[in-house]
Amino acid sequence: MQGGVVYNYVMEGSTIGQIKALRCRECGREYPATLIYACEDCFAPLDVVYEYDRIALTADALTGRPKTLWRYIELLPIADPSHAVDLGAGLTPLHRASRLGEALGIDELFVKNDTVNPTFSFKDRPTSVAISKALEFGLSAVGCASTGNLAAAVSAHAAKAGLPCYVIVPADTELNKTVQASAYGATIIAVQGTYDEANRLAMQVADDYGWGFVNFNIRPYYVEGSKTLAYEVCEQLNWTPPDHVVIPIGSGALLCANYKGFNELRAVGLIDDVEIKISGAQPVGCSPVVSAFNAESEFVEPIEYPDTLAKSLAIGDPGDGLYAVRRIRETGGYAQSATDPEIVAAIKLLAKTEGIFSEPAGAVTVAALKRLVERGEVASDERVVCYVTGNGLKTPDAILGHLPRPVEIEPRLDAFTAAIGVKEVTPWSR
Ligand SMILES: *Cc1c(COP(=O)(O)O)cnc(C)c1O
Ligand SMILES: [Zn+2]
């Protein structure tokens, strides 16, 4: 149905469809790869595991493949490539960020620029895989609960797949994000409540209507898309992994998926068994994972009313929070929060030094990295990759009041000359 063009390279001897099972993250019980999403014994999440021994994926084999995440199809949970719904998510630029590195005190810093995905956030990655899987399961409609970016990603991929789409968002979601989802033809339901409340409603809808809700019943497949960031970072660094990656945390799924991604590259022999520290970043106004990390606790205390500019990260009760804490600890990384003013400063710094305009949830990694360097937790000679996950054009209001307004002049050279000497300018307002 979809994506025929993309799969020309899938030829004889290719090893796609090597899913072994869904495996419980707690007890290890395995299930066939169906629409099940939690362990029947311990309710823990299920992860897709593959027959890694049978997967033949080499650096050479990747040459000439599509410049999207579907280049790693052997490690994606789709049995029939014709189901792939491909809007072009993935294989985003990995920038050598020398100027930002200099500002932060890191010699070798890279920015993984996921602001340039088809709907302008990394959410296109998991969504592309989830909607493909929904087609493979033959589901009649799809949907999600969203803090905003997922709404746009699911709506766009549903449109491409020709599936009806229902998204449930908190009523205070940024206008640009709901406008975007609406344009793709989805039905948007704005719930008077928090993300966690929207999420609970979505779970009931998924159960009741039997639709594919990407963050519930197709979640094990959904999260697989996010690990492709780890694959790309390693491929773009010529299979020499970085020392340290900094990843934003909302539900914690992105961070956990990247941990899995690095491990899978080791399992199929694409990278050596070297240490890669994974650090997580949250806004101070919603940092349950950071609190649990700092308290050395095995319990992530939910935040009832998140309060932050980084709305994409305003998940008070993060589903993968505890696993994120464990992964961070296990890899020797850190969990670090940053205040809203620090996040605004980071948006500006990233834009001014590297020409990359991020939304608050993306720049939180830059703000957290600054703190990590100041605390001596990231050394200047570490090779660091900072994930920047969402586009600044999605959230102009977050930064409008912190930027100078254009200086208005009459169209004359003397007026221009007078104007460029202007020191004080009025900020934008709305
Ligand atoms: C959703 C989102 C995140 C957080 O991802 P989780 O998987 O929820 O931890 C980070 N950045 C942006 C831009 C997002 O939209
Ligand atoms: Zn279990």
pLDDT tens track of the chain, all 430 residues?
Answer: 344 444 545 545 568 888 999 999 999 999 999 999 899 999 999 999 999 999 989 999 999 899 999 999 999 999 999 999 999 999 999 999 999 999 999 999 999 999 999 999 999 999 999 999 999 999 999 999 998 899 999 999 999 999 999 999 999 888 888 999 999 999 999 999 998 899 999 999 988 998 999 988 999 999 999 999 999 999 999 999 999 999 999 999 999 999 999 999 999 999 999 999 999 999 999 999 999 999 999 999 999 999 999 999 999 999 999 999 999 999 999 999 999 999 999 999 999 999 999 999 999 999 999 999 999 999 999 999 999 999 999 999 999 999 988 889 999 999 999 998 877 777 777 6
Instruction: Compute, in angstroms, the gap from residue 255 CA to the centroid of ligand 2.
Output: 21
Question: How far does residue 80's CA lie from ligand 2's centre (Å)?
Answer: 28
Q: Six-digit token pair at 112?
A: 């993984």
Pocket of ligand 1 (CB under 6 A): 121, 123, 149, 248-254, 312-313, 359, 361-362, 389-390
- Of all atoms in ligand 1, which is nearest to the CA of residue 226? 7
Give dist(CA 329, CA 325) in Å, integer: 6
Ligand nearest to the CA of 46: 2
How far apart (Å, rounded) are the C-alpha atoms in residues 239 and 233? 8
Q: Which atom of ligand 1 is nearest to the CA of 150?
A: 15
- Closest atom of ligand 1 to 253 CA is 7
Q: How far apart (Å, rounded) are the C-alpha atoms in residues 227 and 229? A: 5
In Å, how far are 36, 108, 191, 231, 366 from 95, measured between CA atoms? 38, 11, 38, 15, 14
Kindly compute the dihedral angle of the four CA atoms of residues 125, 130, 133, 139, in this order, to the nearest 10 degrees: -150
Q: What is the predicted pLDDT for the residue at 291? A: 98
Ligand 2 ion local residues (Cβ < 5 A): 24, 26-27, 29, 39, 41-42, 44
Spatial CA neighbour of 312 closest among 420, 143, 424, 176: 176
Are 5-88+123-222 and 97-118+226-400 equal in CATH topology? yes
State the pLDDT at residue 17: 82
pLDDT, position 13? 57
Output the pLDDT for position 10: 55
Nearest Cα residue to 85 out of 161, 149, 25, 136 = 161
Query: Which residue's alpha carbon is nearest to atom 3 within ligand 1?
Result: 250
* Residue among 251, 278, 300, 393 to mutate when testing ligand 1 (max atoms within 8 A of CB): 251
* Predicted pLDDT at 3: 42
Pick from 389, 391, 394 the residue to mutate for probing ligand 1's pocket: most ligand atoms within 8 Å of its CB.
Answer: 389
Tell me which residue has tokens 């697989």.
224
How far apart CA 328 and CA 280 sit, in angstroms, is: 7
Interior angle at CA 216, CA 213 and CA 217, nearest 5:
80
Q: Which CATH number applies to 5-88+123-222? A: 3.40.50.1100
Candidate from 245, 279, 312 with most ligand 1 atoms within 8 A of CB, to mutate: 312
Q: Kindly report the CATH number that applies to the domain delimited by 97-118+226-400.
A: 3.40.50.1100
Q: What is the pLDDT of residue 126?
A: 98
Provide the residue ranges of all domains of the chain, joining segments of one domain with +. 5-88+123-222, 97-118+226-400
Residue nearest ligand 1's atom 13 by CA: 390
